[in-house]
Amino acid sequence: IKRAIGTDNVKQLQELGIIYQLGQSGVNEVGTKLENLDTEFQIKHDHNPIHHMEERMKDVQSLFKKLKRKNLELSAQSVRDNIYDIAGIRVITNYLDDVYQIERMLLQQSDITLTRRKDYIRHPKESGYRSLHVVVSVPVYQSDGAHDIPVEIQIRTVGMDMWASLEHKLRYKTDTNPELVDKYADQIKGFSDEITSIEERMQTIYQDLNDADTK
Ligand code: 0O2
């Protein structure tokens, strides 16, 4: 392999392998914390803030595309310095309030440090995309001690997630079927506001029912 791709490239690949291994461990750590919080909430408040979670490691093709788009060097060091979403967890919540509740409960843990935050719920993207993105740093213990690993957490409601899946599918059609994009883009953008409005009203009813329970 060394002869075929060069010694330096072998070293880069090995380092990239370590970044992915540590990233997966970071996802495991944060995933467990989130599961524990959800269980505690269920026991104490009879409510599960988390509908479900999806954990993923960024695929290598998507990583290289991102480095290129940002005009960054294709090296392990450049990945360590600039890319924070190799390790990712998507948390799908039942209600809008749960998004911020989950964030608060996670960030108050002493071994979790917030490093980046983008609130696309309070400030939706031009496309209509809504989600709360936070990058946290979590210690992962290896034989040589603790490594602080970035993990990106995308937190959004069931409705926001359903919308993002459909819009993502539409965006993939840009090259192959541009007329479909023209046909549906505006409509899908409008759905984002409609879903938000419905989710807000459902949350109010849920809250009201809960209050009635405790009276
Ligand atoms: P993947 O990994 O295949 O899921 P940054 O990381 O902040 O330096 P970036 O990547 O532009 O730069 O961050 P951004 O836009 O905050 O978040 C990117 C991710 O958010 C995307 O991952 C999507 O999962 C999601 N996302 C952002 N905007 C949209 C949107 O308009 N529609 C949909 N459906 N999803 C969106 P990737 O890039 O797909 O990579």
For the chain, 215 residues long, the average pLDDT of each consecutive 10-residue run is 73 93 98 98 94 97 94 93 97 97 98 98 96 98 97 98 95 80 91 97 94 78
What pLDDT sits at residue 178?
A: 84
What pLDDT sits at residue 9?
A: 82
Q: Which fold would CATH assign to domain 2-158?
A: Beta Polymerase; domain 2 (3.30.460)
| Residue bearing the CA closest to ligand 1, atom 32 | 129
Question: pTM for the complete prediction?
Answer: 0.93
Centre of ligand 1 from the C-alpha of residue 14, in Å: 27
Query: Which atom of ligand 1 is closest in space to residue 82's alpha carbon?
Result: 8
Centre of ligand 1 from the C-alpha of residue 196, in Å: 20
Local structure of 59: helix, strand or coil: coil
CA-nearest of 62, 50, 183, 55 to 106 is: 50
* Distant-in-sequence, close-in-space partners of 207: CB < 8 Å, separation ≥ 6: none
What pLDDT sits at residue 104?
A: 98
Query: Which atom of ligand 1 is closest in space to residue 90's alpha carbon?
Result: 24
202, with CB counted inside 10 A (0-12, 13-18, 19+), is middle
What pLDDT sits at residue 213?
A: 77
User: How far, CA to CA in Å, does 210 sit from each of 40, 100, 189, 206, 214?
Assistant: 18, 19, 32, 6, 7
What pLDDT sits at residue 5?
A: 65
Q: Is 198 in contact with 161 (CB distance < 8 Å)?
A: no
The residues with which 87 forms a beta bridge, in sequence order, are 57
Centre of ligand 1 from the C-alpha of residue 92, in Å: 16
